[in-house]
Amino acid sequence: MRWSVLCVVLCACSRKPTPDITKDPSPVDAALPDTAPRLPPKERAIIHGRIIDLDLRGVAFELRKSSAPFEAIDDKRAYLVDTDVVAHDNKTGVELFRAKPTACAKPSLGRTHLYCADGLKVTAIATSDGTMRTIASAAPSPVEQMVEVGDRLIVRRADRTLESFEIATGLLRTATTISTIDPWIGLKVIAGDLGVCGVGPDGAGHVLTCFRPDLGLRLKKTIDLHKPTDPKSTWFHARSLDDKHLVIGTHWSPTVHRAAVFRVVDGVELVRVEDEIVAVVEREQGELDGFVALVGDLHYLLPSGKVAWTFKGRVSDSASALVRKGRLFVASFHRSASGAALDAFDVGSGKHLWSGEVEQLPIAHSIYLNDVMLTYRADALVMRGEEAALSYLQMFDPDNGKRLFSDNRMRSP
C-alpha cells in the first residue's frame, strides 16, 4: 500500500537547492508520489526525482530533472533506479552511493537490501553502503518478484516456483511451487512478517495460498462465490490482496453483484454480501471499521455486512478509504479511466461533509490502468495515483477538503 523500492541512474542529476518551502507554501508548487503505493515511516515521499517534505507541503530536494523508472524511499534514504542504483540521504539530499548492477529489473526494497532481478539471478545491494552480491540458484525460470520477509528473501519465478533465501548468507534454504497466482497481484507479505500469500483462479473459483517464511504451507483455501442460480456468464476475480485482507467479487456482471472478504492470516471469511465491496476500511490503530461498496451508488457497510448508509452521486468501480476522528474519507476512481474523486462523510450518519479539490489532468487513451492509494500522513490526507501515463501526489485538509499540495504530471518516457 512496506517497502519495496529501487534505485536510479542519475545521469545529469546534480542536486539543486529548491525554494524555501517555509516561505512559499504554494499548494501547486511541485510534488509527486513515489512509485511505491504506500508512504514510508517518515513524513517524506519521492516522486519524479524530488524528495517531498509532507510536513511543509513542498519540495525538499530535487535529485534530478525527471522521474526515474523506479523511485522509492525509506526512513533514511531515497533511491533512484535506472541503469544505476543511486541512494541519497533523504534529510540532506546528499548522494550516499551509486551501485552498478548488470541489470536491475523488477526492483524491490527491503529493510537492509535493495534487490534487482537479472534474468535468472538476483543482485542484493546493501542499503547501508551499496555493496553488491549475487543471490542465485539453479532454477531455469526468470525472476518475477522478490519479497523480503523477516530474515528471508522470497523469490517468485515465472514458472510459479518459490524460493526462500537466507538474506545474511544468500543461501537457498527451501523451494516449492504455488499452484496458481494472479501475476497482477503477486505475493503479499502477511502482517507481522508471518509469511506470504498469493491468490489465483482455479476452475470456477479461486485459491488463497499462504506460506511461512521458510515456505512451509501456512494455509490453502478454495473460494467459490457462485450460486446455482447465477447466469453462466458470471465470473469472479480477486479485487485486492494486502497484508490483512483478500477481497473477491464479481467482475463486469450486469445482473449479479457479490463479494466476500477474507482474513489472510487464517483464511476466515469475514463477510459475504450481494454487493461490490471495493475497499476494506480501517481505523487509525488498524481495527476494522467497515467496507465501501459501489454498485450504482456508494454504500457503507458495517463489519457484519449490513448497509449503514448510502450516498447517491459517486459511480466508480474502485476506491481507497480510511476512517479518522469519526469521518470516513473515500478516494473513488475507475481502474480503466483517468482521474479520481475524494469525499468525506460522517461515518455514523453518512452525511456528506465535503468533496475534495482534486486536481485532474485529462489524458486521451485507449488502454488505461489507474490505481489510487489514500493515506493519512503529516495531519493531512495524502492521495497518490499511478496511472498509465501519469503519477501524482496530492494533499488535502481533512477538515474541508482544501488542496494543500499537488503535483500532477506525465511520467518521463
For the domain that residue 196 is a member of, what is the CATH number? 2.40.10
Q: Are residues 401 and 291 part of one domain?
A: yes
* Inside any domain, residue 406: yes
Q: Are residues 412 and 302 part of one domain?
A: yes
Q: Are residues 408 and 289 part of one domain?
A: yes
Q: What pTM value is reported for the model?
A: 0.85
Determine the Cα–Cα distance for residues 185 and 68; give it in Å rounded to an integer. 23
For the domain that residue 373 is a member of, what is the CATH number? 2.40.128.630
Determine the Cα–Cα distance for residues 127 and 387; give it in Å rounded to an integer. 29
Residue 21 confidence (pLDDT): 34
Residue 85 confidence (pLDDT): 98
Q: Are residues 220 and 337 part of one domain?
A: no
18, pLDDT greater than 90: no
- Return the percent helix, strand and coil in the chain, to nearest 5: 0, 50, 50
Q: Are residues 364 and 254 part of one domain?
A: no
- Work out how many domains the chain is built from and give that number: 2
Pairing between strand 121-126 and 132-135? Answer: antiparallel
> Looking at 215, 243, 274, which one is the last position of a domain?
274
Q: How far is CA 401 from the centre of its chain?
A: 23
Q: What does the chain come to in residues?
A: 413
Phi-psi region of 290 (alpha: psi -120 to 50; beta: other; left: phi over 0): left
Residue type, 312: K
Containing domain of residue 391, as a range?
279-413
Residue indicated by cell numbers 542504483? 85
Determine the Cα–Cα distance for residues 9 and 76; give it in Å rounded to an integer. 19
12, pLDDT greater than 60: no
* Per-residue buried b or exposed e for 217-230, using 16+ beta carbons within 10 Å of the residue's own CB: ebeebebebeeeeb
> Looking at 239, 274, 309, which one is the last position of a domain?
274
Q: Are residues 379 and 264 part of one domain?
A: no
Q: Are residues 284 and 270 part of one domain?
A: no
Q: Are residues 340 and 264 part of one domain?
A: no
What's the rounded mean pLDDT across residues 111-115?
A: 96
* Inside any domain, residue 392: yes
Q: What residues form DSSP beta bridges with 208?
A: 199, 221
> Looking at 274, 307, 331, which one is the last position of a domain?
274
Q: Are residues 253 and 200 part of one domain?
A: yes
Q: Are residues 259 and 305 part of one domain?
A: no
Share of the chain above pLDDT 90, in %: 71
Arithmetic mean of pLDDT over the chain:
86
Q: Are residues 254 and 333 part of one domain?
A: no
- 256-301 pLDDT tens trace: 999 999 999 999 999 999 999 999 999 999 999 999 998 889 999 9
